[in-house]
Amino acid sequence: MTDTPLTKAAKATPPGVARKIKGLSDRAIAWIFVGPTLFLLLAINIFPLIWTIRLSFTDFKANRNREVEWIGLRNYERILTDSDIWLNMQATAHFLFWTIFFQVLIGFTLAYLINKKFKGNDLWTTIIVLPMMLSPAVVGNFWKFLYQPQIGLFNYIVGFFTGKDPSSFEMLGSVQLAPWSIVIVDTWMWTPFVMLICLAGLRSIPDYIYEAAEVDRASKLRQFFTITIPMILPFLMLAVLFRGIENFKMFDLVVQLTGGGPGSTTELTSINLKREAFEKWRTGYASAYAIILFVTVFGLASIYVKALNNVKER
Amino acid sequence: MSSYSVTEPGKRTKWVAGTLVILYAIITLIPLAWIMLTGFKSPSDAISYPPKVIFEPTLEGYVNLFTTRTRQTPEFLAANPPETWYEEIVRDYDMVIAGPSKFGERFLNSVIIGFGSTFLSIVLGTLAAYAFSRFKIPFADDLLFFILSTRMMPPIAVAIPIFLMYRQLGLSDTHLGMILLYTAVNISLAVWLLKGFIDEIPLEYEEAALIDGYTRFQAFYKVVLPQAATGIASTAIFCLIFAWNEYAFAVLLTSGTAQTAPPFIPTIIGVGGLDWPAVAAGATIFLLPVMIFTILLRKHLLRGITFGAVRK
């Protein structure tokens, strides 16, 4: 072995420094640190997605062991022309629209009130937040108990305030009421999320803007519409985006609450998808369905994010 | 007295706001309080009309939750007097306790899978977040967006191929399979939250450590990790709560050995239909830790929820 200047230098330097020279480059460390995460996401998110795309062009059934045939776009064709699926889409749209409407309305109002900084507001905020921390399936299950026509607390309270007979209506059993029953529970559960985001938004508005408005003799009402609302709008829109994506995927709460019934009045797309994939075992068909849903969420979300960025830039 | 400020709400405004918020909070609490009460009712009290607020509390629901029971003949019951307080409770129904129910096991599964996946998400997430925060990574923004976008997929959509994949690999209904799956779901949130926390730690600390002769690794775990401890803890709580609450994957991919509590609780059946007190008892035991956690750690949690949203 010949002594190169480098090895000479290495021998001459104390061990601590030598280790540093031998140590990995920053770039290697970066990849070692990011690698496992990317690998896991590729293995359990991206690879399955690609597999789903592949299955969506076949007539594969996961509970049978027979030759799989390529059937091209036939699954997609069948889904997009199926009127039942459009009914599920409508149920989902109804659920999405009204949950977001009520959550934004109540959530913003609560945030506005909490921002008045009354005494003990953080404790009460925490209590309001409790439902969103809980397991949606378990929540759905116990709301089913509250909604029981004869014995349920919900019917009793409604009856108490309206004078209606508590056994005269069924929240979960009636075609008219069932879609509202899931809206009520979701609103109870997720309003706090919108509230917290609005609260963060309200707290981010600097005081001096209001002080300046006060100097200009702007009325409180005017301040609300020209300062508070425009400043909070990006936050509200973000809250809507998050709730929209989450509720489009909604499964656990509703499946426990109504199971999609009565008939298919509350059969949201996710529940319908589960039925096709894991009860009827039409794997190929369900895969195509899954891809259509994913593309829908992704497409709507991207358009929405563009709109959101426009609002932010204004 | 502080000086007059235009942004400080008046006394009356505060009073009105406070009353309305407290009113809403109480309405929010009613369903939760009701389910906890129901856990201490007898089956007949649980389904009585009008709903009973005052009743004789019993631990029947809890006993039914944790045991399986069989009906016995009067002779058998007379020959074997009850030995414990819980035996005594089921004797009222001419039954004896046959053995423990599956609830204990399912609860333990929730604990193992919850903590296992949280640990893994935090380890992997912290490393990745540190790398994204401190090193130049090609296409960093795209990678970060990719990591986040994996959360947009409906769980059922991914469940089909994961179901097939797990069946092939022998991971269906195993703890390891569920831990890996929940880690994969949680890691996107973990990376995003943790990157935010690590971004806030001044770069100078590490540079000083590097000049002092620390290697990158040493600087990472001796300087950065302690600084990010609070952020790591609150991220961990989010991951834990997700894994604890998850239902869709659990119900599709587990059926026995690795089944967690959420798919199990709704299936608790008593004599003649759903045993509501036992279901309520199960829900209470399962939900209470999360509620206590939330109240105790409210400062960090509430910040964390909005953090991811507001940061971007």
Q: What is the mean pLDDT of chain B?
A: 85
Say how many residues make up chain A.
314
Say how many residues make up chain B.
312
pLDDT score for B304: 66
Residues in chain B within 8 Å Cβ distance of A301: 152
Q: How many CA atoms lie within 13 A of A292 on its CB side?
A: 22
User: Is A124 within 8 Å of B25 when comparing Cβ atoms?
Assistant: yes
Q: Which class for A259: exposed (0-12), middle (13-18), buried (19 or more C-beta within 10 A)?
A: middle
User: Is B31 within 8 Å of A119 when comparing Cβ atoms?
Assistant: no
pLDDT score for A190: 94
**Each residue of B178-203: pLDDT tens digit?**
999 999 989 988 888 888 888 888 88
Listed residue (A69, A61, A252, A238) closest to A143, CA to CA: A252
Listed residue (B268, B278, B260, B267) closest to B106, CA to CA: B260
Quickly state the pLDDT bin for B95 (edges 50, 70, 90): confident
The domain locations on chain A are: 74-313
What residue of B is the nearest CA neighbor of A35? Answer: B128
Query: What ipTM goes with this model?
Result: 0.85
**Each residue of A155-209: pLDDT tens digit?**
899 988 988 888 888 888 889 999 999 999 999 999 999 999 898 889 888 889 8
Residues 6+ apart with CB under 8 A from B229: none
Residues in chain B within 8 Å Cβ distance of A293: 154, 157
User: Is B24 within 8 Å of A156 when comparing Cβ atoms?
Assistant: no
Secondary structure class of B286 (helix, strand, coil): helix
Residue with tokens 């009402």: A221
**Each residue of B150-172: pLDDT tens digit?**
777 778 878 888 988 898 899 98
Secondary structure class of A279 (helix, strand, coil): coil
Q: Which class for B212: exposed (0-12), middle (13-18), buried (19 or more C-beta within 10 A)?
A: exposed
- Is beta strand B95-100 parallel, antiparallel or unpaired with respect to B269-270? unpaired
Quickly state the pLDDT bin for B2 (edges 50, 70, 90): very low
Residues in chain B within 8 Å Cβ distance of A16: 213
User: Nearest C-alpha of chain B: how many angstroms from A176?
Assistant: 23
Residues 6+ apart with CB under 8 A from A13: A21
User: Is A251 within 8 Å of B287 when comparing Cβ atoms?
Assistant: no
Start-to-end CA span in chain A (Å): 68
The domain locations on chain B are: 104-267
Residues in chain A within 8 Å Cβ distance of B20: 113
User: Is A40 within 8 Å of B180 when comparing Cβ atoms?
Assistant: yes
Residues in chain B within 8 Å Cβ distance of A298: 149, 152
**Backbone phi, psi, residue B101, to 5°:** -85, 180
Given a contact cutoff of 8 angstroms between Cβ atoms, the answer to whether B103 and B63 are in contact is no
Residues in chain A within 8 Å Cβ distance of B247: 135-137, 251-252, 256
Interface mutation vs chain A, best among B187, B247, B259, B276, most A CBs within 10 Å: B247
pTM as predicted: 0.86
User: Nearest C-alpha of chain A: how many angstroms from B18?
Assistant: 6
User: Is B161 within 8 Å of A49 when comparing Cβ atoms?
Assistant: yes
> Does domain B104-267 fall into CATH 1.25.10.10?
no
3-state secondary structure B176-225: HHHHHHHHHHHHHHHHHHHHHHHHCCCHHHHHHHHHCCCCHHHHHHHHHH
Residues in chain B within 8 Å Cβ distance of A38: 128, 143
What residue of B is the nearest CA neighbor of A205? Answer: B7
Q: How many CA atoms lie within 13 A of A166 on its CB side?
A: 20
What residue of A is the nearest CA neighbor of B312? Answer: A238
pLDDT score for B142: 79
Residues in chain A within 8 Å Cβ distance of B244: 135
Residue among B157, B215, B302 minimizing CB distance to A129: B302
User: Is B46 within 8 Å of A114 when comparing Cβ atoms?
Assistant: no
User: Is A116 within 8 Å of B9 when comparing Cβ atoms?
Assistant: yes
Which residues are paired to A58 by β-bridges?
A: A70
Listed residue (B304, B260, B152, B74) closest to A302, CA to CA: B152
Quickly state the pLDDT bin for A17 (edges 50, 70, 90): very low
Given a contact cutoff of 8 angstroms between Cβ atoms, the answer to whether B247 and A135 are in contact is yes
User: Nearest C-alpha of chain B: how many angstroms from A24?
Assistant: 9
Residue among B24, B143, B165 minimizing CB distance to A110: B24
User: Is A277 within 8 Å of B50 when comparing Cβ atoms?
Assistant: no
Cα–Cα distance for residue pair A274/B157, rounded to 1 Å? 9
Interface mutation vs chain B, best among A19, A106, A138, A231, most B CBs within 10 Å: A138
User: Nearest C-alpha of chain B: how many angstroms from A94?
Assistant: 18
Q: Does position B311 have pLDDT exceeding 60, yes or no?
A: no
**Each residue of B245-274: pLDDT tens digit?**
999 999 988 888 899 999 998 888 665 567
* Fold designation for A74-313: MetI-like fold (1.10.3720)
Residue among A129, A138, A148 minimizing CB distance to B294: A129
Q: Does position B173 have pLDDT exceeding 70, yes or no?
A: yes
Residue B61, H or E segment: helix B60-66
Residue A189, H or E segment: helix A178-204
Listed residue (B218, B237, B191) closest to A29, CA to CA: B218
Mean pLDDT in residue range A101-106: 96
User: Is A48 within 8 Å of B310 when comparing Cβ atoms?
Assistant: no
Residues in chain B within 8 Å Cβ distance of A117: 8-9, 14
pLDDT score for A91: 93
